Amino acid sequence: MPYFSIIIPVYNRPDEVNDLLESLSKQTYKDFEVIIVEDGSTVCCADAVKSDSRIVDIHYYYKENEGRSIARNYGLERAVGSYFIFFDSDCVIPEGYFEALNAVLNRHYTDCFGGPDAAHDSFSDVQKAINYSMTSFLTTGGIRGGKVQLEKFTPRTFNMGFSREVYDRVGGFREMFSEDIDMSTRIRQAGFDISLIRDAFVYHKRRISMRLFFRQIYIFGMSRISLYLLYPDTLKLVHWFPACFVIGTLAMIVASFFWWPAILPLAIYLFAVFLVSWCVNKRLKIAALSVVASIIQLGGYGMGFLKAFFYKVLLGRGRDEAEEVRLRKGK
C-alpha cells in the first residue's frame, strides 16, 4: 500500500487538473496514490484522468455536488495510505515536494502539517499580484505564506496533510466556512501537534480575476465570524485588521474633503504595499496590481467580516449553516 494518499476535490476544472497531475507525475518520491473526487462537475476531468498513464496509482470518482469538504471526506473513506495529503485542483506541485516532506516526517514526525504557497513564473500578472496580497506580512500579518506570523500557524487545505490516526480520532471535514481552520482547531484540541513544513510548498494559481478574488475573500471574512461563534478564543487582533482598514479608509476619505492630509496614512500604506511588491516581484505592473489586490483583499474581507459580525453577533442570529453550504457549492 502507498504511504501517502493524495486527495483532490474538483469542480469544473479539467485544465487545472491536467497541470496538477503533470506535476505529480514528475515527483522524485513516488510512494503515493492519487484520488480525484469530481464534485458534481458539469465540465468533467474524467477523460483526462482515465487516459493519463503518467501516474500508475490513480483513482477517479464522480459524485453529486455537495461541497468540497464532503468531497474530501468521500476521498478519505476510499484512501488506503497512512498519511493523507490535500491539494486544491489549482495547485502545481514542485517535483521535490514529497521527497522533502518524507525527509522531514522521518526526522521530526508530526501528525498534521501545512505548507506555504508561492506564485510560479508561468502564472499571470493578476495571479502573482493576488498571491502577493494573500501572503504578504503587510496584508495578512503572515497568516498565509509561511512567513513570520502574528498568530499560531493553521494549515489550509490547498496544501495540508494529516495522519490516519488523526482521521480515526477526529474524523473528517465539516461542510462549513473555513473548514480547514475548523479541522485544524479540532486536531489541536485532540492533542495532536501541527507543524509548518516550509520546504513542502506548492504553486497556487488562486483566482484568475479580481472579481472572483473579491467574492472569495468576502466569504473568508464572513467565515471568520462563523469560526468565532464555534471557537471564541480563535478570534485574534489580526483578524480585525481588514475591518479596521474598511472603517479607517472610509473615515480618511470623508475627512480628506475637509482636511486633505487626512488621506496620507492610507497613501503611505498603499505605497509601502507597492514598494515591497516591486522588490519581491521585480515588475512595476505586478506591483501596481498588488495595490489593487491588496485593497480587494482587505476591503472584501473586512466587509464580509463586518456584515457577519453585525448580523450573527450583534443581532444574535448565529450561524446560518444552510447559507454556508450554499455559498460553498460549486467552488
For residue range 286-319, what is the model confidence (pLDDT) as tens digits? 999 999 999 999 999 999 999 999 999 999 988 7
Report, at the CATH architecture level, how domain 4-119+145-206 is classified.
Alpha-Beta Complex (3.90)
Domain extents in the chain: 4-119+145-206, 211-328
Is the backbone of residue 50 left (phi > 0), alpha (psi -120 to 50) or beta? alpha
Contact 7, 36 (CB under 8 A): no
pTM of this structure: 0.85
pLDDT tens sequence for the chain (331 residues): 789 999 999 998 888 899 999 999 999 999 999 999 999 999 998 887 876 677 779 999 999 988 899 999 999 999 999 999 999 999 999 999 999 999 999 999 999 999 988 888 878 899 899 989 988 888 876 555 444 444 578 899 999 999 999 999 999 998 887 899 999 999 999 999 999 999 999 998 876 789 989 998 999 999 999 999 988 988 888 899 999 999 999 999 999 999 999 999 999 999 999 999 999 999 999 999 999 999 999 999 999 999 999 999 999 988 777 777 666 655 5
- Distance CA(317)–CA(311), nearest Å, equals 6
User: What does R_g of the chain's alpha carbons equal in angstroms?
Assistant: 20
What confidence tens digit (pLDDT) does each residue in 183-225 have?
A: 999 999 999 999 999 999 999 887 678 998 999 899 999 999 9
